[in-house]
Structure 1
């Protein structure tokens, strides 16, 4: 007879020919989900499990947050990321913590780096991020800067972190570091990267940096984190701890671990270079379209009425010639069109082949070496702040926050 278990029950289960200890989490699709002592979850038939004991609720101990006047004062703005998460061994679940005392309990090394104020802005999966939330985030960060924070940490899910980092790069002029950080693997996994990423992010937030950046593992080892400019970074792997890469440029710095030594590149913007300013207007009626062979021009009709459209073309920046009449129609109707490349490295040049020249004649602008997602966010910001079409076109091709370069360096 199948036994009934309650979340948090300690159980023995037969798996792989061995008896293993674990915590019963839930029943899913007729299988019992059990968290093993190693931290990994397995699915076994309920009959393979035997009850051991019922675990009492985990105590939720709060402690006073120590304030050290010799340390910097940082703000942590959370959007649902996992700068600190803790396992409830009663249920086997992982919860993100937004209270400063919870963060220091989970990652006590942070107390050696700074004092913290925490602002829980949102609790969302990063695929649910929107331009409206970018605006709320920029305003919250700006308020913390004006309130005296010497650095800001933004915790964020990794899937769309590059979009949000680019958005704040354009929406804020900052004299202090604004550091985005996330975790590829949750705290219940032995290979979690959350603690090291958070420690490195706090170290950069107290450094001499003065711009928006993403700080994440640089390798699969726990040796150092890379500091990526907010407009030049991309998530390049679904699950590796070193998923984030600077594209077209080198990272703007590194953080050694466990020494926490921050090294900034000569091109990194320094603390205090800019005066704080908020430019939070956004035009959300912009799109990003990736060209593929055989794409029908009818797809472009969905973008009629849009203020702008970023195209991720092939190679030097091409689409099939069959799309050009509809692209010309969009441009003549007032939609700003900018071409980027799916190649990610290198730059668009539509003057080499006939197709490129025809695209230019149709009203498509070259996007240089901008990343498609950074170009999309930039277009939303530009069109939200500049209504003159010619001026907006000029801004799209100008380097505003390190998102494009005049030339591509060899090997990048």
Structure 2
């Protein structure tokens, strides 16, 4: 009789433990993690985004030991082809799921534009629950594929009870990076992401999550950007400045083609060549909004008082591609340069 009771108790506890596992949804968008080539030795020249989410999940059966996992295919592209339509679809889907009994979201994504998608979601997801982007630097068919371990780590992070209120994160090569600070800094190495100005949030060691830093900028539920009814985003482009800069011609063409905002990848702390700057000043009088970033990998932009008075906006320490994301969202709220500047200082 005692053995029967013990068995019943054991079974009840087992069921209880199973039910207690976090419910994690993996949303797939493609990328190298879903890439394939007909050679185990080759890590370049593959076709990205050809393997489906169910195959990726089956390749890492260990994730079901730490979470109840389900998957959904949002897109299956090379992330160099990421677009606003997928961004809006992804953000809306995440907001919908996190209102339900979902404990966290993992997004498989190509690394080329991962930092941009992460920052976009960091500004538009309206939940304190974990949202984690993950990818790979080597295709799934490579003998040294990094995708499976990265995916396991991402699920472990999304399932971790201490991962709430951290904003959107990236899990790559055992690192935890915040969406605002994460930058891809190597074209091929598996250790491809760093956070030059902020440092890593923490690390993942054999599925165990360790946080060492906190997020200082407002994110997710503390941002004013609501994309629930948006079908498109304002057109914002990026231009480089350089010696003997002749991109004023491109600036005019972009403005004439409907560009509402422009991010300039300035030299140094945000300097802009006089050839381009004069064109920008003229177009700003006609309504163009200009945020000044830098082509330098780390550090903040310094916009002079005179330039501030003209309407130039400092991107702070956001790189050009992330400054573009914030300027797009800012333009859904206001066209006042002073108010947009406040967004850059806060988010």
Shorter-chain TM band: 0.7 to 0.9
In structure 1, the partner of 2:233 is: 283
In structure 2, the partner of 1:367 is: 315
Measure the CA separation in 1 of the matches of 2:226 and 2:312.
27
Go from structure 1 to structure 2 and tell me whether the alpha carbon gap of 1:390 and 1:310 turns closer, same or farther (over 3 Å shift): closer
Which of the residues 328, 336, 341 maps onto 1:389?
336
Q: Which structure carries more strand by proportion?
A: 1
TM value normalised by structure 2: 0.82
Measure the CA separation in 1 of the matches of 2:37 and 2:58.
12
**Which portions of structure 1, spanning 4 or more consecutive aligned residues, are displaced by more than 2 angstroms?**
81-89, 92-95, 102-105, 273-278, 281-284, 357-363, 390-398
Q: Does structure 1 residue 243 correspond to structure 2 residue 192? A: yes
- Secondary structure, counterpart of 2:75 in structure 1: coil
- Secondary structure, counterpart of 1:287 in structure 2: strand
Greater RCO between the two (CA within 8 Å, min separation 6)?
2
Q: Does structure 1 residue 265 correspond to structure 2 residue 220? A: no
In structure 2, the partner of 1:216 is: 172
Q: Do the aligned partners of 1:72 and 1:150 also contact (CA within 8 Å) in 2? A: yes
In structure 1, the partner of 2:77 is: 124
Measure the CA separation in 2 of the matches of 1:82 and 1:319.
36
Go from structure 1 to structure 2 and tell me whether the alpha carbon gap of 1:75 and 1:249 turns closer, same or farther (over 3 Å shift): same
Go from structure 1 to structure 2 and tell me whether the alpha carbon gap of 1:274 and 1:331 turns closer, same or farther (over 3 Å shift): closer
- Give the unaligned 5+ runs of structure 1: 1-66, 218-224, 352-356, 401-412
Between Structure 1 and Structure 2, how many residues are aligned? Answer: 312
Decide which structure has the larger Cα Rg and report it: 1
- Secondary structure, counterpart of 2:105 in structure 1: strand
In structure 2, the partner of 1:68 is: 18
Q: Which structure carries more helix by proportion?
A: 2
Post-superposition CA distance 1:237-286 (Å, at most 9, x none): 11100001112111112111x2x1101134148xxx95999721463311
Go from structure 1 to structure 2 and tell me whether the alpha carbon gap of 1:268 and 1:299 turns closer, same or farther (over 3 Å shift): closer
Q: How does 1:79-158 map to 2 (within 5 A)?
A: 79-81=29-31, 96-99=51-54, 102-158=55-111
Measure the CA separation in 1 of the matches of 2:36 and 2:102.
26
Question: 1:303, CA displacement in angstroms?
Answer: 2.6
Measure the CA separation in 2 of the matches of 1:328 and 1:276.
30
In structure 2, the partner of 1:176 is: 129
Measure the CA separation in 1 of the matches of 2:221 and 2:212.
18
Post-superposition CA distance 1:285-322 (Å, at most 9, x none): 11111112122222221232421111110001111112
Measure the CA separation in 2 of the matches of 1:277 and 1:394.
14
Which of the residues 376, 379, 399 maps onto 2:324?
376
Q: Does structure 1 residue 298 correspond to structure 2 residue 249? A: yes
**CA root-mean-square deviation:** 2.7
Measure the CA separation in 2 of the matches of 1:381 and 1:340.
16
Measure the CA separation in 1 of the matches of 2:339 and 2:294.
20
- Secondary structure, counterpart of 2:186 in structure 1: coil
Q: Do the aligned partners of 1:177 and 1:209 also contact (CA within 8 Å) in 2? A: yes
- Give the unaligned 5+ runs of structure 2: 1-16
Measure the CA separation in 1 of the matches of 2:224 and 2:100.
13
Which of the residues 141, 147, 152 maps onto 1:188?
141
